[in-house]
Structure 1
Amino acid sequence: MNTYELIAPCHFGLESVLKREIYDLGYDISSVEDGKVTFVGDSEAICRANINLRTTERILIKVGQFKAETFTELFDNTKALEWENYIPKNGKFWVTKANSVNSKLFSSSDIQSIVKKAIVERLKEHYRIGWFEEDGDSYPIRVTIMKDIVTIALDTSGDSLHKRGYRPAAGKAPISETLAAALIMLTPWRGDRILVDPFCGSGTFPIEAAMIAANIAPGMNRKFTAQKWTNIIDKQLWYDAVDEAEDMINLDIETDIQGFDIDADVIRKARSNAENAGVEKLIHFQERSVADLSHHKKYGFIITNPPYGERLEDKETLPGIYSAFGRQFAKLDSWSAYMITSYEDAVKYFGRKPDKNRKIYNGMLKTYFYSFQGPKPPKKEKGQER
Structure 2
Amino acid sequence: MENMYELIAPCHFGLESVLKREILDLGYEIVTVEDGRITFRGDVTAIARANIFIRTAERILLKMGSFRATDFDELFEGTKAIPWEEFLPRDAKFWVTKATTNKSALFSASAIQSIVKKAIVERMKQTYRVERFEEDGDEYPIRVFIFKDQVSIGLDTSGTSLHKRGYRTLVGKAPISETLAAALLMLTPWNKDRVLVDPFCGSGTFPIEAAMIGANIAPGMMREFTADCWGKVVPKKVWYNAYDEAEDMIRRDVQMNIQGYDLDPEIVKCAKANAKAAGVGDYIHFQARDVKDLRHPKHYGFIITNPPYGERLEEKEALPALYKTIGESFANLPDWSMYLITSYEDAEKYIGRKADRNRKIYNGMIKSYFYQFMGPKPPKNKEPKEQ
Give the TM-score range, shorter chain: over 0.9
Q: TM-score, normalised by structure 2?
A: 0.98
Which residue pairs with 1:43 in the alignment?
A: 44
- AA aligned to 1:78 is T
Q: Given that residues 64 and 82 in structure 2 are in contact (C-alpha distance below 8 angstroms), is that contact kept between their aligned partners in structure 1?
A: yes
Answer whether contact 2:194 2:385 (CA < 8 A) is retained. no
The residue aligned with 2:320 is: 319
Aligned to 1:361: 362
Partner of 1:123: 124
Deviations 1:175-204 (A, max 9, x none): 000000000000000011110000000000
Give the Cα–Cα distance (whole angstroms) in 1 for the partners of residues 179 and 247 of structure 2. 20
The residue aligned with 2:211 is: 210
Q: Is this contact kept in 1: 2:96–2:142, CA < 8 A?
A: yes
Range with greater deviation from structure 2 (79-88 or 180-189): 79-88
Specify the code of the residue in structure 1 equivalent to 2:175: P
In structure 1, what is the Cα distance between the partners aligned to 2:64 and 2:384? 53
Identify the residue that residue 269 of structure 1 maps to in structure 2.
270
**Cα gap change, 1:385 to 1:125, in 2 (>3 Å):** closer
Counterparts of 1:69-148 in structure 2 under 5 Å? 69-148=70-149
Change in Cα spacing, 1:304 to 1:240, as seen in structure 2 (3 Å) is same
Give 1:383 shift.
Answer: 10
* TM-score between the two structures when normalised by the length of structure 1: 0.98
Quote the RMSD (CA, aligned, Å): 1.2
| Paired residues for 1:197-276 under 5 Å | 197-276=198-277
1:104 is paired with a residue whose SS is coil
> Take 1:171 and 1:250, find their aligned partners in 2: how far apart are those partners?
29
Can you give the 5+ residue segments of structure 2 that lack an aligned partner in the other structure?
none
The Cα shift of 1:85 comes to 1.2
Whole-angstrom CA distance in 2 between matches of 1:193 and 1:3: 40
Would the alpha carbon gap of residues 361 and 381 (structure 1) be closer, same or farther in structure 2, given more than 3 Å must change?
Answer: closer
| Mapped pair 1:156 → 2:157 | yes
Query: Could you say which residue in structure 2 is the equivalent of 1:195?
Result: 196
Q: In the alignment, is the contact (CA less than 8 A) between 2:361 and 2:370 conserved in 1?
A: yes
Q: Which amino acid aligns with 2:247?
A: E
* Distance in 1 (alpha carbons) for counterparts of 2:385 and 2:353: 32
Q: Report deviation, 1:381.
A: 5.7
Cα separation, 2, equivalents of 1:383 and 1:262 = 28
- 3-state SS, counterpart of residue 2 of structure 1: coil
Amino acid at match of 2:296: H
- Does the 8 Å contact 2:59/2:156 carry over to 1? yes
| Alpha-carbon offset, residue 251 of structure 1 | 2.2
CA distance in 2, matches of 1:199, 1:352: 20
Partner amino acid for 1:228?
C
In the alignment, the residues of structure 2 paired with residue 234 and residue 118 of structure 1 have an alpha-carbon distance, to the nearest angstrom, of 27
Partner of 2:4: 3
- Cα distance in 2 for partners of 1:90, 1:42 equals 25
Matched AA of 1:154: L
- What is the alpha-carbon distance in structure 1 between the residues aligned to residue 153 and residue 180 of structure 2? 25
- Tell me the alpha carbon deviations over residues 243-290 of structure 1, each in whole angstroms, 9 at most, x when there is no partner: 100001012111110000111111010000000001000000010001
- Superposition pairs of residues 14-29 of structure 1, within 5 angstroms: 14-29=15-30
Aligned pairs (5 A) from 1:164-203? 164-203=165-204
Shift of 1:385: 5.9
Output the CA distance in 2 between the equivalents of 1:32 and 1:382: 36
Equivalent residue, structure 1, for 2:59:
58
Measured at CA, do residues 206 and 64 of structure 1 come closer, stay the same or move farther in structure 2, by a change above 3 Å?
A: same
CA spacing shift, 1:384–1:232, aligned 2, 3 Å: closer
**How far is 1:86 from its partner?**
1.1
**1:280 and 2:284 correspond:** no
3-state SS in 1 of match to 2:381: coil
Give the 3-state SS of the residue equivalent to 1:64 in structure 2.
strand
Query: How far apart are the structure 1 equivalents of 2:313 and 2:157?
Result: 40
Residue type of the alignment partner of 2:373? F
Q: Which residue of 2 aligns with 1:377?
A: 378
Partner SS, residue 380 of structure 1: helix
Distance apart, 1:382 and its partner CA: 9.0
Cα separation, 2, equivalents of 1:56 and 1:385: 32
Distance 1:117 1:134, change over 3 A: same
CA distance, structure 2, for counterparts of residue 172 and residue 100 of structure 1:
31
State the number of aligned residues. Answer: 386
Change (3 A) 1:183 1:383: closer
Q: 1:385 to 1:154 in 2, by over 3 A?
A: closer
How many angstroms does 1:103 deviate by?
1.0
The residue type equivalent to 1:306 in the other structure is P
Q: State the alpha-carbon separation in 1 of the partners of residues 103 and 269 from structure 2.
A: 46
One-letter amino acid of the counterpart of residue 123, structure 1: M
C-alpha distance in structure 2 between counterparts of 1:166 and 1:298, whole Å? 31
Change (3 A) 1:382 1:57: closer
Mark the CA change 1:168 to 1:347 in structure 2 (over 3 Å): closer, same or farther: same
Query: How far 1:380 moved relative to its partner?
Result: 2.6
Specify the SS of the correspondent of 1:354: coil
Aligned AA (2:59): R
Q: Is the contact made by 2:256 and 2:386 (CA closer than 8 Å) also made in structure 1?
A: no
Work out the CA distance in 2 between the residues paired with 1:34 and 1:249: 32
* Seq. identity, %: 67
After superposition, residues 318-357 of structure 1 pair within 5 angstroms as: 318-357=319-358
DSSP-derived class of the 1:205 partner:
helix
